[in-house]
Structure 1
Amino acid sequence: MTENETRPTAPASEDSRPYVVLGGGPAGLTAGYLLAKRGERVIVLESTDQVGGIARTEVRRAPNGGEYRFDLGGHRFFTKVREVDDLWLEIMKGEFLLRPRQSRIYWRRKFLQYPLEGMDVLKKLGPVDLMRAGGSYLYAAVKTKVRPQPEETLDVWVSNRFGRWLFTQFFKTYTEKVWGVPTSELRADWAAQRIKGLSFFSAAKAAFLGNKGNEIRSLIGEFHYPRFGPGQMWERMKSDIETRGGEVRMNAPVTRVLIRDGVATGVIAGGETIEAKAVISSLPLGVTTRITDPEAPAEVRDAGRGLRYRDFLTVSLVIDGRDLFPDNWIYIHEPGVKVGRIQNFRSWSPWMVPNDDEASIGMEYFCFEGDSLWNMKDEDLVELAKSELGQMGLGDPSKVTMGFATRVHKAYPVYDGEYARNLEVVKEWLAQTPNLVQVGRNGLHRYNNSDHSMLTAMRAVDNLLDGTRHDIWAVNAEAEYHEEDGSSTGGQGDRNAANPYPYREAPPLNEREAATESAS
């Protein structure tokens, strides 16, 4: 639904209490924006001094003027959910770039194009490894038909679709680096959600015939991106909420959610009690189960604590000289280094780097809060990143002119062997308080991208204001919400009638300075 096609503003209710939204990430801000847009009182409470959550943009001042911008995690804006796409355009108003995707896999000191390209695969793998991959796949295909095995864990799910050889070479090392546990302990749900539609056959077909029409979601060829990084969208959304009369309070952690007779009546933040008509929470489920008043039952709190998360940190480096590689990011499948992925920020947007004489990259490390990597001093993390950059032959450590580390809490919900049971316990408890609604990635313990996290907030607002009965837990789980669903249009599409704001092409680098609009 666009700015020009909005629902009529709801008349002011006799109940003057605001809707209270917990968390200023993509889901929380979306809920706050849509509530304010429809004339409702809304207060968004963010515990830190910056909106955007794990999708925020870090900014560092360059010694010679300008700013370096760092995207934590890399956020491609691609969706086939038309209403999410329309909302992005509505917020960004011409500040959305249409960018080419380029990603590669670094494996055995070689680069493999990703999406796969037939001749590149033939050249890099060679005939022996290709025979191993093909033979392993054929064996798996026959085995799954003759003696099918329950696909409960990630290693079985992937091996059945790609063969054991490819699983061991490409999936196992990288996946265990990301999650910090053996693939045999990860549930198949994660693979089914994140790489659905991709198999040995479909990947091989895409490699030799191309991924026409972006049939395989994981293999999209282009995406959209805010000119000054994803943080630009969240800052604009915050400003729009405030312009429409809503509040976004920073440094306002919530310490209690008040529930009386099965109704959420308010929250306590910073010692202040804020009455609420309803509470929309993007807090991690484990946090929500621990801060209610009265206290949640012991089994619910135990289930909340049992929902685990993977944290990560980015070591951002500024390097003297031109870009080290043209990719948006490179997946590091090398077992001999700790880094899991490397971003090149200029490939996301030319405005992320203030000059043409330096490269700016992000070395991403996956860890658990409190482990040796997480607790490493910032200067030691910078030295580690420089060392591994040189070890892989991707850059000269001596040319690094600046570096810093940024830690990200609870970046990825872990789909371990107990998560499904724990999640059901928490869901049953939440169902007893219909106006306490969880949204977003951590709010639902679901590994959603930004578009589906925002869609959960949209559905929550519809349920609260219009009396609809959307199953928010089903977003990105059932066919009607999948990006592959043909009934949902989106992406670039026909913008003329549906939305007045076009996508913007990034100009050549030397025209970057001609831009006059600041990243508000």
Structure 2
Amino acid sequence: MDTQPSQHPVVVIGGGPAGLTAAYELQNLTSADGGAFVPKVFEASDMVGGIARTETSNGYRFDIGGHRFFTKVPEVEAMWHEVMGDDFITVPRLSRIYYRGKFYSYPLRLFNALENIGPYEAVRIMLSYAKWQVRPYKAEDTFEEWVINRFGGRLYMHFFRSYTEKVWGIPPDQIRADWAAQRIKNLSLAKAVWNAISGANDTASLIEEFQYPRLGPGQMWERTRDLVCERGGTVAMNHAVTRVIWSDNHVTGIETSTTDGAGLTEIQPVGQAGVINSMALRELIHAFDPPPPAEVVAAADRLKYRDFLIVTLVLNRADPFPDNWIYIHAQEVKVGRIQNFRAWSSDMLPDEDTASIGMEYFCQEGDALWDMSDDALRDLASRELEQLGLASGDEVIDAAIIRQPKAYPVYDTEYREALAVVQDWLQSLENFQSVGRNGLHRYNNQDHSMLSAIYAARNLAGESHDVWNVNVERSYHEEFEVTKSDKKGTPQKAA
């Protein structure tokens, strides 16, 4: 007599890359009793993909920040190709830095850099680099110290300080070195110069080409959602998780409330398999009922986020520049990065005689920039595009504005201590795991957010993975330590 395999529902909070990856992976696994995992995904918004979604306006598709698909993680690579198939295209990378009225190739091109910066300043940069190689900071606690030890004070002043402060809204000496170690791994001035001369490049952040869904990264997550549902899972849109009910170190239920205006509230039971979470930790801790210990709540409140908005301008002529994106280091404008969406995929635009340009602004929810009207933001973006010499403001024929709260977890001076308190308490829950960028409060790339979710799913199938240590392995950090045995030095001011 045939019997149906047992089913183990798993609640997944969030329909971004981490949440949907967890759901997808769960359906590839078998439980210890030979049963099947059934993911039930709850997403607060009306779109999947989180910050990796693709928005649409009048036929133009655009991303909330650029998302290259490049990884050295085989599980992630396999999933991308399984889901996207022939709609995964290869895109050449072209990006530059705009600084002091000139464009610098990025990755570095030696003669371009020397021509722009001039021989006198180039000598000063090399002397500063030599100085900090001889007498580096012993400790690398801050972003500023980490960068100066690898690039020297002069290059830090030119190409790191102003842009970093624009992105994060705080001085670089108030940002932990952890962020630099994750985002600029394996790179130093010596290696950058060698790459520029030799053409070699093994630094992940400076790859020369990458893969990309034909219709933007949101296509990846829209298709993943559809596959999860076709295989028996559910993805409930416009369902915010408002309460996480727990007792005796187990989550027993979650409360969801609809966000589409109906205001319907429902309690979802949680079984032994439990919950995989990807919502932001600060809001998560406040959702627990009863509340966690006071010190955990206080620690969660110390976790901070950087918000983001994008003004996508449609121009009445084809692309004003060929780059995928340009980093804007100039302080005379507010824009931080500019994307050209056709350079990612021509299928992102419905009209080949127009251009779609994404003007990206880093801000805080509630500040003057965030609270500007859409018309004022369109005017600002059009004016700055012209001020940078990229296009005339008169060529703008349409615009779409998206505001994205909690885009980036902030690595300020107190985040690590606060995160440790929250992490310790969450790990005391026996059927609860947290994954992804906001679920771990870690500025991971998309692939590492996905890997944390894959590991969480496999933990339910009997494996044992520490999702909190994805992309922060001990051996990786040791690669960048400056120790007494190999270098001597005392802290100095940048020069």
Same fold (TM > 0.5): yes
> Does 2:11 match 1:12?
no
Q: Secondary structure at 1:290's aligned position in 2? A: helix
Of the three residues 261, 283, 289, the one matched with 2:285 is 289
Residues 24-423 of structure 1 mapped to structure 2, 5 A cutoff:
24-38=15-29, 39-61=36-58, 67-144=59-136, 148-211=137-200, 214-270=201-257, 271-277=265-271, 278-423=274-419
* Aligned residue type for 1:103: S
Aligned residues, how many? 461
- In the other structure, the counterpart of 1:508 is none
> Equivalent pairs: percent with the same residue?
53
8 Å CA contact 2:8, 2:37 repeated in 1: no
The aligned residue for residue 505 of structure 1 is none
Distance 1:204 1:93 in 2: 37
Q: Do the aligned residues in 1 keep the contact of 2:26 with 2:458 (CA within 8 Å)?
A: no
Aligned to 1:495: none
> What are the Cα deviations for residues 411-470 of structure 1, in whole angstroms up to 9, with x where unaligned?
1110001000000100110111021100000000000111110100000011111x2221
Matched, 1:471 2:466: yes
* CA displacement at 1:392 relative to structure 2: 1.1
Tell me which amino acid in the other structure corresponds to 1:204.
V
Gaps of 5+ in 2: 30-35, 258-264, 480-495
Question: How far does the alpha carbon of each residue in 1:225-258 deviate from its partner, in whole angstroms, 9 at most, with x for none?
Answer: 0000011010000000110011000000011111
Contact 1:107 1:333 in 2 (8 A): yes
Quote the Cα distance in structure 2 between the aligned partners of 1:201 and 1:442. Answer: 34
Amino acid at match of 1:456: S
Query: Which range moved further: 30-39 or 199-208?
Result: 30-39
Residue identity matched to 1:420 = R
Unaligned residue ranges in structure 1 (runs of 5+): 1-10, 62-66, 485-520
Q: 2:348 and 2:217 mapped to 1: Cα distance?
A: 11
Secondary structure of the residue that 2:118 maps to in structure 1?
A: helix
Q: Give the partner amino acid of 2:214.
A: R
Over the residues paired in the alignment, what is the CA RMSD in angstroms? 1.5
Query: Is the Cα contact below 8 Å between 1:12 and 1:40 reproduced in 2?
Result: no
Q: In the TM superposition, what whole-angstrom CA distance separates every residue of 1:260-303 from its partner, at most 9, and x where no partner exists?
A: 21111221112211112201000111111111111111111111
The question of 1:436 aligning with 2:441 is answered no
Distance in 2 (CA, whole Å) between partners of 1:37 and 1:206 is 41
CA displacement at 1:480 relative to structure 2: 8.2
Q: Deviations over 1:125-163 (max 9, x none)?
A: 11011011111101111112xxx4321111111111111
Report Cα offsets for 1:320-356 as digits up to 9, x if no partner: 1120111100000101110000000000001011121
Shift of 1:12: 2.9
Distance 2:132 2:316 in 1: 48
The answer (yes or no) to whether the contact 2:364–2:370 under 8 Å persists in 1 is yes
